[in-house]
Structures are given as structure tokens and as C-alpha cells.
Homo-oligomer: A and B are copies of this chain.
């Protein structure tokens, strides 16, 4: 069984220096709180943290596979209408598990995938002009059906569909993923006769990639969802009983907490040395930021907690961000994502043997160069006193991706316990939503509109 591994050597003070590196005592002291945090999280597994048990939801998996099979070959395009957790997971899966040129040269029988997770009129307008709705399946994803962005998109593409294929036929082009019973989108699905999948209770948006939210579109574009779930199940198993030192989710949670709290490193960089793994960093950025970025602790105190997730891609960002990472403030730590075995081997041909700065490359492989740059950067950051750990993927496949997704979800849930915050709400996005509703003139928000307009300074400083 290929499993992902963690190398945490370079997090510790003897290697990386005492300025930012962990010491043995504080690390060991996390064993007991970690055990307790894990117990507290797992205790809610059957209750309100149902996402923990998604790897075992085989019935749902089979329904998805049956549906995907039934529409196979009928559509050239799958379009996700969804935002936040409804888009980021699937985009990460697509980038990791389908080739980078999947949409340009789709494999026989597989549709292209578009994640329309914005309402910028220039993006949606252009898509309306470019895309043929008659060859497209729209997957509308919103648990509540009240997400303004997603529902606006739905209204727009529904109309385009009806104009293109007729009112009756259009229902075949829509599949929704929403609450089992409640909400506007469930009501619409019932009324229109759309095929519908369920976002189970106890599965928040950012913890939903292994539910139909991520699995349905994944299956539609040919991703091995069985492998994903098996990988997640393997990680679930691995983390359920293991002691702190052998438990990757607990170690991830503990080091994140220690490095921010004890060592004042507010920035957590996911440095993906793999083009295919790069969008995992965006998925994790939501998971981490929305879960731990909280004003209030669970005890009611004001904490303003939360690491800031940053995404970097190697080798690309060696020529963009590494200068800052090497020499800038001691305010970051790094998680390298490394792939042990690429799917391709690319040899650099020999040429210009008489030109020294070029000739030495000939006969080597890009695989060697890529690994040397990754290891070189890691050595350099370590020498510069910057704590870093490495998550190694034996290869990039559904099984290892499933492991990673589950590991980080569990790690973030455990972090919530360490930071003392509720990792499963998002009160801070309400204010902006309310302001937007008010400015859009939605009923019931008139007072808020007046308040906003009164609060806006009439004299603005501009240049």
C-alpha cells in the first residue's frame, strides 16, 4: 500500500536553529492535548461531524457511478455552478488527476470541466458566448440554495438551456447537489424534475470534497472516485488509533499550532513541487482560513486567531517568492509537497557541449533537475533558519490524493481544538453577505442599506 509520508526533521531547532525551530519539549508536550483533541473530534463523528465518515459511504459512491455511467458520452462539457467549497475541491482533483491539457485535448469520451466559481460578468458573459449549452451538463451545487452567486448563475444558464434545447429537455442538462430536504434548490429540483444528489448534514462546504459535492463532478470527468475514497479510508484508519508521534493528522495540527503560537510564524506556505498538486494548496487555503480564522474563542474570549495560508509552486516560485522566503522576516513556515515518482520521464538531449553553462544539462533528465531544485531549495531554506516539513506522495493518483485530503481535514479539525475556536462555522462572511444583499435591494435589508450609506464617508480621498 503506497502511503504518503511526512518528514518533519527540518522543523526542529537542532537543524533549523532556535529562532524559529521547534524544541523537543514543546513538541512532546502536544501528545496529550492531541490525544484529547482527536477524541473530542471523533466523538462527534456520528453526530455533527459526518464528513469524518464519508470514506465509508459506499452507497453514495455507487449512486454517483451509476449516474455518471448513464450520462457517459452525452456531454462535451461539465460546468460546475458553485463557489467556495463547491468548487475548490473539484478543481484540485481535476488538476491533480487529469492532465494539464485535459480541456484542450479531452480524452475520448470524457467531457471538459469548467468550475465557474465567480460572477464576474466578463467571465460569465464570455462563457455564454463560447459554450454550447446543448452539449453541456450543469452541476448546480449549494446546500442551502441561497448562495446568491450560484443561484444567479443557475437562472442565467437555465434560461440559455431552455432557449437552446426547450423547456422539457433542459432538465436532462441539470444535476443539482443540495440539502436532502430543505432549501430553495431542493424545492426547485423537485419542481423541475432535476436529478439531485445530497449534501449530507454535518458536511460543511470546506469539508465536502469527498461527498457528492466533489465526487459527482469527479466521476463525470473520469476520475477514480473509488480510489479517492479508499485513500481517504486508509488515512482515516491510520489516524484513528495511532499515537501522536505516528499520527500524521495530529502532527500536522500540532506543528501548525506551535509554529504560530510559540514561534510567532503567522504565515503557512504550501510549497508544491508538483504542477499537479498546486491546486491542493488553494483547497487547503480555504479549509485552514475559514476554519481557524476566528475572532472569538469557544470560551467567548476575543482571540483573532488564524494562520494565513499562502500557495507557492516549485520550481516556478524560486524565481518569484524564494528571495523573500530566504531573506525576509521570520514569519513563515513551509510545507513542501513532493512527488517521488512522476508519470513522465523527460530526457534533456545533449547539445552545445562546448558551452559550459548549457552543456552540463545534456543527458540528464528533467526529473533529476526538478528534484535537485526542490532539494536545493529545501537545503537553502533550512540553512537560512526557515522551518519546513515535507509531505511525500509516492505518486500522484486518486489513492494518495484521497489520503492527503482526509489528513488535512482531520488536522484542521484538531487544530480547532488547539486554537480553541469553532472550526466549523464562518461568522465573518455574514457581514459582507448582508451588505451585498442590502446593496442589491433584497427585501428585509433596507435598514442595513441605510446604515451602510450613512456610514460611508461622503468625502473620499482619491487621486
Contacts and interface: CB of A to CB of B under 8 A. Distances in A.
Nearest to A462: B7
B266 A320 contact: no
A173 B318 CA distance: 28
B12 A461 contact: yes
A5 B463 contact: yes
Chain A contact residues (Cβ within 8 angstroms of B): what range? 35 or more
A272 B295 CA distance: 24
Contacts of A357: 144-146, 151, 184
B429 A322 contact: yes
A205 interface: yes
A327 B304 contact: yes
Contact of A463 (B248, B274, B308, B426): B248
Contact of A438 (B314, B319, B376): B376
A332 B320 contact: no
A380 interface: yes
Interface stretch (A47-55, A64-72, A217-225, A359-367): A359-367
Contact of A286 (B124, B144, B320, B367): B320
A39 interface: no
Contacts of A342: 120-122, 125
Interface in A302-333: 304-306, 308, 310, 313-316, 318-332
A432 B373 contact: yes
A25 interface: no
Given A308-B308, A384-B431, 20 more contacts: A100-B127, A118-B316, A119-B366, A120-B273, A122-B396, A125-B344, A151-B357, A156-B348, A266-B331, A286-B319, A286-B320, A289-B321, A293-B325, A306-B329, A308-B328, A322-B428, A322-B429, A323-B427, A356-B443, A376-B438
Contacts of A285: 320-321
A130 interface: yes
Nearest to A101: B130
A158 interface: yes
A291 B426 CA distance: 36
A319 to B, nearest CB: 3
Given A184-B355, A344-B126, A432 B380 contact: yes
B383 A440 contact: no
B344 A329 contact: no
Given A83-B315, A84-B319, A304-B327, A455 B379 contact: yes
